[in-house]
Amino acid sequence: MESKIDISVIVPLYNEVDSLPELNSWINRVMQENQFSYEVIFVDDGSKDRSWDVVEELHQNDPNVKGIKFQRNYGKSAALQKGFEAAIGNVVITMDADLQDSPDEIPGLYKMITEEDFDVVSGWKKKRFDPLTKTIPTKIYNWAARRLTGIYLHDFNCGLKAYKLSVVKSIELYGDMHRYIPPLAKYAGFSKIGEKVVQHQARKYGTTKFGLNRFLNGPLDLLSVVFMGKFGKKPMHFFGAIGTLMFIIGFGFSFYLGIDKLFIDKSARLIAQRTEFFIALAAMLMGVQFFLAGFLAELAGRNSSNRNVYLVEKTLFDD
């Protein structure tokens, strides 16, 4: 998939009015020094401050600046999804708007995609300027993500990443799936995934937009990504296997109770009064329920359009 420009930079933002002019100027300087053709797509995720006014001003003064504004706050995944849909550069680079991601890393990321033929390159903020309350849970989360996805990255959640254009056109983000774009790319067939040590800078303006809920949502989303990647097209393989196991356990207990009552201990108490009977009954019922869940998941998958709707209020693109 070839494009007329080298790089699309996608910047999701929410209430980052102070940092936008400096960030755009920094990106522009890096692009000019390396003679890249480029576009910068600012995606305003329903900001309550003057962020969109600043984006409009930047667009008027710089033809490389484009913008998308949501009617309300949908989250980072939605912002990246809309940015991916609009991007036209051969290499797509994402970065946060808070100046903690350095645009000076762009040439190195671009080289790894174009010359080393990586599909995805994730930044690794090896030296961080975050408090322990954030870095320790992040280390645990990254360890779990490596174990479950089989992708060896040190920093799955780094906002600074680079992709081939074909990658971002082949995946769909929803919920909080922006943390798991490398696994989504892998499950879409893009297996060459690497990482690059990048500079992490202390926040210069504003405050963090992420709360404690990410510590709960992150692991749940990770399980969802792994499940959808492995069983999204064949949910019966997952639910059916568990259902079969449960049914075999239940049938085994029932068979044992019958043999014991008929041939071993005929004077034993009634089968319905024994604990094994309830274990067998519960196991077989659970087996049937897992089978039904598998059938329903198959039906839902075959009839779902699998699309998400994000209401865009304004855009800034040249015809």
Region at 165 (left for phi over 0; alpha for psi -120 to 50; beta for the rest)? alpha
Structure-model confidence comparison of residues 113 and 149, the more confident one: 113
Q: Quick one: 39 exposed, middle or buried, by C-beta within 10 A (0-12, 13-18, 19+)?
A: buried
Q: Domain check: are 186 and 282 in the same one? A: no
Predicted confidence (pLDDT) at residue 136 exceeds the cutoff of 90? no
Nearest by Cα to 9 from 91, 109, 78: 91
267-283: pLDDT as tens digits: 666 777 788 888 888 98
Predicted confidence (pLDDT) at residue 310 exceeds the cutoff of 90? no
Nearest by Cα to 92 from 115, 68, 109, 105: 109
Q: Domain check: are 148 and 179 in the same one? A: yes
Given the structure tokens 């067939």, which residue do they identify? 189
Q: Quick one: 217 exposed, middle or buried, by C-beta within 10 A (0-12, 13-18, 19+)?
A: middle
User: What is the signed CA dihedral for 52, 54, 60, 66, rounded to 10 degrees?
Assistant: -50
Residue 151 CB-half CA count within 13 A:
27
Predicted confidence (pLDDT) at residue 82 exceeds the cutoff of 80? yes
Structure-model confidence comparison of residues 159 and 128, the more confident one: 159
Give me the CATH number covering residue 208. Answer: 3.90.550.10
Q: Taking a C-beta distance cutoff of 8 angstroms, is the pair 47, 288 a contact? A: no
Domain boundary among 190, 207, 231: 231
Residue 36 lies in a domain: yes
Q: Domain check: are 47 and 93 in the same one? A: yes
231-240: pLDDT as tens digits: 767 778 788 8
**Total number of domains in the chain:** 2
List of residues 6+ apart from 102 with CB closer than 8 A: 160, 198, 199, 201
**What is the structure's pLDDT at 133?**
61
Residue 319 lies in a domain: no
Average pLDDT over the chain reads: 84
Residue 17 lies in a domain: yes
Residue 310 lies in a domain: no
Mean pLDDT of 132-148: 75
Residue 315 lies in a domain: no
Domain boundary among 231, 252, 282: 231
**What is the structure's pLDDT at 131?**
61
Mean pLDDT of 251-268: 78
DSSP string, the chain: ---SSSEEEEEEESS-TTTHHHHHHHHHHHHHHHT--EEEEEEE-S-SSSHHHHHHHHHHH-TTEEEEEESS---HHHHHHHHHHH--SSEEEE--SSS-B-GGGHHHHHHHHHTS--SEEEEE-SS--S-HHHHHHHHHHHHHHHHHH----S-TT-S-EEEEHHHHTT----TTGGGGHHHHHHHTT---EEEEE--B----SS-----TTHHHHHHHHHHHHHHHHHHTT-HHHHHHHHHHHHHHHHHHHHHHHHHIIIII-TTSPPGGGSHHHHHHHHHHHHHHHHHHHHHHHHHHHHH--------EEEEE---
Residue 288 lies in a domain: yes
Q: Domain check: are 215 and 251 in the same one? A: no
Q: Domain check: are 154 and 293 in the same one? A: no
Q: Domain check: are 49 and 98 in the same one? A: yes
Domain that holds residue 165: 7-231
Q: Domain check: are 160 and 252 in the same one? A: no
Q: Domain check: are 65 and 198 in the same one? A: yes
Q: Domain check: are 219 and 70 in the same one? A: yes
* Per-residue pLDDT band at 247 (split at 50, 70, 90): confident
Domain boundary among 231, 258, 284: 231
Q: Taking a C-beta distance cutoff of 8 angstroms, is the pair 121, 195 a contact? A: yes
**What is the structure's pLDDT at 166?**
94
Residue 54 lies in a domain: yes
Residue 187 CB-half CA count within 13 A:
18
Predicted confidence (pLDDT) at residue 223 exceeds the cutoff of 80? no
Q: Domain check: are 199 and 264 in the same one? A: no
Sign of the Cα pseudo-torsion (64, 70, 76, 78, in order) = negative
Q: Domain check: are 284 and 188 in the same one? A: no
Residue 316 lies in a domain: no
Q: Domain check: are 195 and 295 in the same one? A: no
Mean pLDDT of 302-309: 57
Size (the chain), residues:
319
7-53: pLDDT as tens digits: 999 999 999 999 999 999 999 999 999 999 999 999 999 999 999 99
